[in-house]
């Protein structure tokens, strides 16, 4: 399903942009850093640092508009949960950690505010996600030796992303921006694990180099 999603989106993007193949444009390389927040996640933490990188090309579509395609990769650092229990007979501690990586491909547009250095960015496309879930459980009953159980599960899914932001050109080839992105995706589903996580968002500060 993931490969078919990439192929379909790439074909659609190429078809839509083919009339502008001879228009003036620019390659761009972007890095974004900030915070990601999961919605409805069943852990003690729901937010973590995030990093994303994109490479793309935008064609000139008018005096103040550029449209193009992008592809890249991103990561959300681990979020976790700790639960402890203790009474006269038993002590237990459970820990879980979820770290997510993703790849994306989609459309990217830049809208200049007249002749000023300020501009807006819009983006949308397809992404696949891989979440690594690590769990650890410790239990001690009375004075018996402590028992420890660990597990690692890889969860895969795919979905869509969309975002918008504003930025300012520092030079002809370098700019900074602030972006807000949303992610919607199917449930993480595994033979031994089913986690209902449908949406997430990121707020990032970015740097873009054009060449």
DSSP conformational letter for 115: T
How does DSSP assign 34-75, residue by residue?
A: EEEEESS-SSS--EEEEEEEEEEEEEEEETTEEEEEEEEEEE
At residue 82 the predicted structure's pLDDT band, cuts being 50, 70 and 90, is confident
Q: Is the pLDDT of residue 9 over 60?
A: no
pLDDT digit string (tens) for 35-69? 999 886 666 678 999 999 999 999 999 999 999 99
Domains of the chain: 2-81+99-133+153-210 (2.40.160.20)
pLDDT digit string (tens) for 135-147? 999 998 887 888 8
Contact 147, 138 (CB under 8 A): yes
Q: Give the pLDDT of residue 196.
A: 55
Contact 100, 45 (CB under 8 A): no
> For the whole prediction, is pTM greater than 0.85?
no
């Amino acid at each position: 399903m993931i490969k078919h999603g990439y192929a379909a989106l790439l074909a659609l993007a190429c078809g839509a942009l083919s009339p502008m193949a001879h228009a003036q444009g620019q390659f761009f390389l972007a890095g974004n850093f900030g915070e990601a927040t999961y919605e409805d996640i069943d852990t003690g933490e729901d937010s973590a640092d995030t990093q994303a990188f994109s490479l793309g090309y935008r064609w000139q579509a008018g005096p103040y508009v550029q449209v193009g395609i992008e592809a890249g990769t991103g990561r959300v650092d681990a979020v976790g949960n700790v639960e402890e229990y203790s009474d006269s007979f038993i002590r237990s501690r459970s820990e879980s950690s979820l770290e997510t990586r993703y790849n994306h491909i989609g459309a990217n547009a830049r809208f200049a505010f007249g002749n000023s250095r300020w501009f807006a960015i819009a983006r949308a496309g397809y992404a696949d996600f891989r979440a690594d879930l690590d769990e650890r459980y410790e239990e001690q009953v009375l004075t018996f030796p402590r028992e420890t159980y660990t597990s690692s599960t890889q969860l895969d899914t795919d979905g869509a992303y969309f975002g918008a932001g504003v930025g300012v050109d520092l030079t002809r080839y370098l700019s900074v921006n602030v972006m807000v992105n949303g992610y919607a995706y199917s449930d993480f589903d595994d033979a031994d694990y089913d986690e209902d996580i449908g949406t997430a968002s990121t707020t990032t500060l970015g740097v873009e180099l054009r060449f």
